[in-house]
Structure 1
Amino acid sequence: MAPVALYIADSLIKVLTGFAMGFVVRDYTARKGAVKTKGIKKTTAAAKALNPVPRPREELKMVLCVNESLKMGKGKIGAQCAHAAVGVLQGSQKTQGVALRQWEMCGQPKIALRINSEQEMDDLAERARAAGLPAYIVCDAGRTQIAAGSQTVLAVGPAAKSAVDAVTGHLKLL
């Protein structure tokens, strides 16, 4: 066989192996936190406590509360919202797995809202966590427009729309 053909065959085998391993890892992580009993998958009591399943037909959403007192530019707001969304998702993968998958399959709705101060942001984050909702506050690194440590965006959710609205429903759209 020509060296090019061997290279192509070797590359194809590596790609297919990686693809298969991706399915194995995905299947393993999907089963984590569940116990299989007589062929029926049942969630453990501990997993249920950490993973509240929203009402079957209730829409899920995430809200991004932007600190208006910092007077950030549009690009900065976009970047900070992305940081907040990633941060809240990373923090809630283990505890909110079912809700995250439902949210992902339903278009990942996100709403950007205005918030007036860091104090208001802290209060809302506390209320969200007390209600069992995922919450994450972005503190800026201070490399561009604003001072280091400034609280830029609070992400709440993804969670049931009614639960998120109970905490953030009074805020205005950005």
Structure 2
Amino acid sequence: MTQRDLVQYYIVNKELNMSPGKIAAQVAHAATISTLDILSPTSRFATHKEDFVEWYQTGMKKVILKGRQKDLEKLEKLEYYAIHDSGRTEIASGSLTVIVLPPMPKSLGKEIVGYLALL
């Protein structure tokens, strides 16, 4: 079997000016929520489960990108995983902090978020 280049993309809202620690916590929330959902039998991304397993077995490659509020809102409307902050520390409650896509072939990810820059 040929190994595919599978990647999970995280898009951080650069307009919120979060500290590095806050960004790390929000990305960790995104990783946890997306993993639990993909492994759930009722996941809306159940078709990605095979990609998830292969991605896990091949090193769990992740790419962290930065986007504007409108970029994240566009991806949220496509029903990718959206993380909204609880407002306990640096930013307002309900702020859209991170969008995460399920693991997918890099070529597909580039079609969806290839216009965004690395964080």
Give structure 1 regions of 4+ aligned residues with deviation exceeding 2 angstroms. 55-58, 124-127
Same amino acid, percent of matched pairs: 33
After TM superposition, the score normalised by the length of structure 1 is 0.61
Alignment partner, residue 100 of structure 1: 52
Larger relative contact order, structure 1 or 2 (CA cutoff 8 Å, min sep 6): 2
**Number of equivalenced pairs:** 113
Distance 2:62 2:105 in 1: 12
Asked if 1 retains the 8 angstrom alpha-carbon contact of 2:52 and 2:102, the reply is no
- Name the SS of the counterpart of 2:101 in structure 1: strand
State which of 57, 68, 71 in structure 2 corresponds to 1:116: 68
RMSD between superposed Cα atoms in Å: 1.6
Q: Deviations over 1:92-150 (max 9, x none)?
A: 22313211110001100011101011x321212334x5xxxxx2110000000000000
The equivalent of 1:18 in structure 2 is none
Identify unmatched segments of 5+ residues in structure 1: 1-54, 130-134
TM-score w.r.t. length of structure 2: 0.87
| Bigger Rg over Cα | 1
Residue correspondence of structure 1 range 27-106 to structure 2 within 5 A: 56-93=2-39, 94=41, 95=46, 96-106=48-58
Q: What CA distance in whole angstroms lies between the structure 2 residues aligned with 1:155 and 1:107?
A: 17
